[in-house]
Structure 1
Amino acid sequence: MKKIEQKDLFELKNVAQPVVAGGDIFFTETKMNEKKNTYETAIYKYTNEGKVPYGDDGTVNSSLQVSPDGKWISFVSNEGEDKTPQLKIQAVTGGKAIALTQEKKGVSVYVWGKDSQSIYYQTTKADEEEKKEEFPQPIIVEKTTYRFDGGSFLPNKETTQIKQVEVATKEVKTLFETEDSILFRDVLHDGGSLVVDRDLSNIRWTLDSAEACYVDVATGDIHPILEAGTDESYRYMLDSKEGVILAYNSGEHGFVTQVDIVFNKEGQPGSEGSILNLTSGLDVEWGDWLVADFQQSVTGVEPQWMDEESFLVSASVEGKIVLYRLFLDGRNEVLFDKEVHITGAKIISEKELVITYSTTTLPSALAKLDLTTGEITNLYNPNEAYLAEHIVTTPERFTYKGYDNWDIHGWYMPPVEKKDKHAAILYVHGGPQVAYGESFFHEMQALAAKGYGVIMINPRGSNTYGQNFVKSILGDYGNHDFDDLMMGVDYILETHPEVDADQLYVAGGSYGGFMTNWIVTHTDRFRAAVTQRSISNWISFYGTSDIGQFFVEKQLLDDIHNPKRLWEMSPVAHAKNAKTPLLVLHGQSDLRCPQEQGEQMYMAMRKNNVPTKMILFPQSSHGLSRQGLPNLRQERLKAITDWFEEYSK
């Protein structure tokens, strides 16, 4: 049996976006192309004899849907020369894919009309004639949110369009235009109304604030389904005969506030209905908040109707994805609760789903889920041959008492080769409002194959453990979250005497990078550290991150007018205490935690004569470890193990 290696990224595949058309199942499969240094996503139909290719020759076929009448699959493809994503359809029975759009700016999201005769989609209006200036021109900024991670400057004015294309004739009609930032969600009332989520972040000085709105196609009028208060958000989920389902965020705890799902009964354009909170008694985080590094093209479990009175929805609970059935009268039922990471699902019947999923030892698979028994039956495992010849380590799930006697969950992945004593790495996740969970993590498997034990902990501030747990970090970064992590390391040393206390290492990215910086400036127990896409100085982060002003105010509960407190909470302020050799890894296109954050930590450590090295990754955003260029993902993994080996015994 072979050990898992860093280069195995190119051998592993991921399945996602399952859909059902009659008795047929379609899905996407993503792999990395080593020669082209890209990701490739293709569409397949599942059969008992194997997978049958669908889609076209584009390197990315995604956003897979089925027409309401079950006759067509639809998808977005980048097949053209300019690689602009365009909308295409293909008969479920096979044949050539048909292009429906030729949008200069491409298609972002789309929705089938209820009669299957047309498709509604969102695009960006192209300038009639894009000017190519002979000389560089100044960039004028007039919005609060003017940049976004991985990209460049956002335009001050940009027109979003919603259009309708007829399937039979390809005739395109523009239905709505706006300079507001919107996300198209649905079409209602026989095409008379569109539903959009309108972003409010530039209006309200808050991150992730939106209101679901009706758009009258005849007049172009736009008005909220429910009026959102100053800190509130309403996002559209589903339509029903009696009203609409919305995701409601009160904003009480900033953007770590858990969402409630509400039913706006008998609400119509222009008038509110009666509002029923369907989840007020459930202290869970709706959606998928599990962190992993091999889940490309996944969409999560999208809300969908099981019958006229109930719908399917997923929640992240204690590192798992749990499926719920919510009823319009306020009842709820847990349909599935096991230690797996469901990455996509579609209803076959009231008792059966087709899903894509992962576990800590299974990268990805297409399967059927029996809701009466909870049994998962695999249909297709794209990595079956790979797993048959490689050693996969099974992590141990553990619970210990953290600060103030709180229950803290974690996973310990032992090294592949057993020794009397071995090294271990504390690996801190990002967010902090995400969570480790029951999902495959290639990086951790590769580290275990290199001889390291890997300690993965969800300290306070992580998602999936309820509102009090996730909000407890607000205004308290680097305090009791630090305690939870150190007590977790102590717990592993107590329960695993084979872990050498003199061979401990620490690594993390984003919030995990902040915490790595904080750890090396507050303790010397680790032999070496790797900080990635980190935060080192909250004062500069406030003004340079694409979410800095919102994040600092809502997470640290302070702002730029109190620089003393922000400085005290900044790792770079304590760098004079550091002795631990530090490797700084940062993407040059990272606008979430900008490159200057890594540079500040690097220079502060050098000033303190601590062994420090910095590696910068070109064309790399904040998501380098998950969606970055394949060759750079490999280089990143190699840099981490090389650094730890340099400072091993």
Structure 2
Amino acid sequence: MGLKIEDLEKLVLVSDPKISPASRKVAFVITRISTKEDKYNSSIWLYNITEDSYYQLTEGPSDTSPTWSPSGRYLAFVRRTEEQGKPTFELRVIDIKSCGQSRVVVKTEGGISSISWSPDEKEILFISSKGEVEKDVKHIENIPIWFNGIGFIYNRLSRLFVVDFLSGNLREVEVDAKEDISYARWSPAGKKIAYISSTDRSRPYISDIHIFDPDSGREEKLTRGNMSIEDFAWSPTGTKIVFRGSDLSRGLAGHMRLWILDLRTAEMEELGIPDRDVANAMNSDVRGPSSGQKIQWYGENIYFPLMMGYKVALYKWNEKNGISPVIEGDFTVEDYSMMGDLIASTIMSSTTPPELYLLKGGDLRKVTSFNDSLLRTAKLMKPERFSVKASDGEIIDAFILKPARFEYGKKYPAILYIHGGPATAYGESFIHEFHVLSDAGFVVIYSNPRGSTGYSEEFRDIRGKYGTRDYLDLMEVLDTAL
């Protein structure tokens, strides 16, 4: 009963589901951990909805970011390799119709992210970094300094590139040379490119949405330079953009919220979302790579994740009915995508690693079983949630995970876990480390003290109170647990 440290290699991490435009297949990423190689190995798999079966599509060992072409015939993805000891990233495309070998469209040393096919399927937009040649002596004035998997980035900027799908001809999108770009998408008609960028390297969290017209070369900033913006989605008509961002009214302690930009009037409006974070900031040590959009605009509905205390649900909003849940329960919805009446998602809980689920007609069904055999053998203990009324009256969510072979009346060593951030949360997400400690005979106690996200902004905002109010919450949780 329980998990061992070495069971980490037996876990299979399922992530980044993408439904094909024809709604017959779901591409997703499978990641396995190799302690011998000290690395994560990833490959792309396909789930056939009609046949209810799944199989490996690419050989890996480092394939991520599956992205369907508009017709659904082609699937683009990123492969990380090494050349002369340096990481190299390949944008590859595979013809699903012929199921042949993937081919390299373009290579870069600067990483590849934010892949977006042009609607006519002729070009692929992506972000990659470029900059000065690395030197032995570094004079650093910018932040951030380092990015895992790439290295030093203080002397590099992330820029927009477009590659011709067939010829491989590559060109940089000529926007302002000072812009560091984090997210980009073609418009539904393929006439414009929207992107998010920052220009202040000392405050990289300040970002704006821009529109670029490739025909005229005209660039327009749509926001006011006073927000932190994560991502966005075009409306189906291409006349509006919904984005996820913070107005920084509480500094970096504020929630991500939803805003709509009307491109015809330049007006911006905040949507009426409850006082919760439009994000997924749950702690977990078994997440696979993800390139999925956190917000999607499909038909009349805008879809988004919402932190609800110790779990994450998928919600939707439309102008007529407002906000309503789509997928919710005692679990965390990770990635998702939709097409027609189908939603593919990856879901995890405190006792189950992420697996692929399919929602159709209100019926949510688990369609992969990569971790079932391990879980049957492990028979994990379920963490018990309890609430603590803090000394100032606030309610704190807390959890206790008992030893795998727990006996009432017997004493056990206890460990109090404190999450970082502080704007993250513990709850219905899988943490291998906790179950290893449970198997080793420890009681694991953890909670969401002040500063955690998933609750109100007032709960989250502890500026000026670090190490005081959160410390009291933690001690009061510990006293209650003991």
Cα drift, residue 206 of structure 1 = 3.9
**Residue 175 to residue 478, structure 1, CA distance change in 2 (3 Å):** closer
Cα drift, residue 211 of structure 1 = 0.8
Say which of 255, 261, 266 aligns to 1:264: 261
Cα drift, residue 247 of structure 1 = 2.4
**Residue 440 to residue 92, structure 1, CA distance change in 2 (3 Å):** same
CA contact (8 A) 2:348 2:429 kept: yes
Separation of aligned partners in 1, 2:320 and 2:364: 30
Can you list the C-alpha shifts for 1:470-494, whole angstroms capped at 9, x where unaligned? 01x211011121111111112112x
Say which of 285, 310, 314 aligns to 1:293: 285
Say which of 305, 313, 320 aligns to 1:314: 305
Say which of 273, 283, 288 aligns to 2:275: 283
Cα drift, residue 95 of structure 1 = 1.4
Aligned with 2:107: secondary structure? coil
**Residue 323 to residue 175, structure 1, CA distance change in 2 (3 Å):** same
Tell me whether 1:213 sits opposite 2:210 in the alignment. yes
CA contact (8 A) 1:322 1:334 kept: yes
Aligned with 1:8: secondary structure? helix
Separation of aligned partners in 1, 2:447 and 2:30: 30
Separation of aligned partners in 2, 1:448 and 1:339: 21
CA contact (8 A) 2:315 2:326 kept: yes
Matches within 5 A, 1:586-597: none
Aligned with 1:362: secondary structure? coil
Question: How many residue pairs are counted as aligned between the two chains?
Answer: 469
Give the structure with the higher percent strand. 2
CA contact (8 A) 2:333 2:348 kept: yes
Cα drift, residue 404 of structure 1 = 0.5
CA contact (8 A) 1:301 1:342 kept: no
Of structures 1 and 2, the one with the larger relative CO (CA 8 A, separation 6+) is 2
Separation of aligned partners in 2, 1:8 and 1:235: 35
Cα drift, residue 176 of structure 1 = 2.1
Letter in 2 for 1:52: Y
Match of 2:450 in 1: 460
Match of 1:418 in 2: 406
Letter in 1 for 2:220: H
CA contact (8 A) 1:276 1:330 kept: no
**Residue 105 to residue 432, structure 1, CA distance change in 2 (3 Å):** closer
Aligned with 1:403: secondary structure? coil
Can you list the C-alpha shifts for 1:250-303, whole angstroms capped at 9, x where unaligned? 1111111112211112x15xxx52322213x51110010101111121456622
**What is the root-mean-square deviation of aligned Cα atoms in Å?**
2.4
Aligned with 1:394: secondary structure? coil
CA contact (8 A) 1:226 1:234 kept: no
Separation of aligned partners in 2, 1:408 and 1:310: 33
Match of 2:65 in 1: 63
Match of 2:95 in 1: 91
Separation of aligned partners in 1, 2:449 and 2:204: 23
Tell me whether 1:447 sits opposite 2:437 in the alignment. yes
Match of 2:13 in 1: 14
Cα drift, residue 106 of structure 1 = 4.2
Separation of aligned partners in 2, 1:210 and 1:236: 10
CA contact (8 A) 1:121 1:162 kept: yes
**Residue 153 to residue 360, structure 1, CA distance change in 2 (3 Å):** closer
Give the structure with the higher percent helix. 1
Matches within 5 A, 1:97-496: 97-125=102-130, 137-143=136-142, 145=143, 147-148=145-146, 150=148, 153-156=152-155, 158=156, 160-176=158-174, 178-188=177-187, 190-202=189-201, 206=203, 208-218=205-215, 220-229=217-226, 232-240=227-235, 241=237, 242-265=239-262, 267=263, 272-279=265-272, 281-299=273-291, 302-307=294-299, 309-328=300-319, 331-350=322-341, 352-370=342-360, 372=362, 375-419=363-407, 420=409, 421-471=411-461, 473-493=462-482
Separation of aligned partners in 1, 2:257 and 2:313: 16
Cα drift, residue 197 of structure 1 = 1.1
Cα drift, residue 347 of structure 1 = 1.3
Letter in 2 for 1:213: H
Separation of aligned partners in 2, 1:336 and 1:107: 31
Can you list the C-alpha shifts for 1:235-256, whole angstroms capped at 9, x where unaligned? 5411122311122421111111
Aligned with 1:342: secondary structure? strand
Cα drift, residue 112 of structure 1 = 0.8
CA contact (8 A) 1:61 1:76 kept: yes
Cα drift, residue 403 of structure 1 = 2.7
Aligned with 2:146: secondary structure? coil
CA contact (8 A) 2:231 2:295 kept: no
Cα drift, residue 29 of structure 1 = 0.5
Aligned with 2:6: secondary structure? helix
CA contact (8 A) 2:46 2:56 kept: yes
TM-score normalised by structure 2 residue count: 0.90
Cα drift, residue 207 of structure 1 = 5.4
Aligned with 1:445: secondary structure? helix
TM-score normalised by structure 1 residue count: 0.68
Can you list the C-alpha shifts for 1:157-189, whole angstroms capped at 9, x where unaligned? x45442222223333333325242112411237
**Residue 189 to residue 443, structure 1, CA distance change in 2 (3 Å):** closer
The sequence identity of aligned pairs, in percent, is 22
Aligned with 1:102: secondary structure? strand
Separation of aligned partners in 1, 2:120 and 2:374: 44
Give the gaps of 5 or more residues in structure 2: none
Can you list the C-alpha shifts for 1:388-410, whole angstroms capped at 9, x where unaligned? 21121101111120131111101
CA contact (8 A) 1:87 1:107 kept: yes
Letter in 2 for 1:239: W
CA contact (8 A) 2:129 2:157 kept: yes
Aligned with 1:85: secondary structure? strand
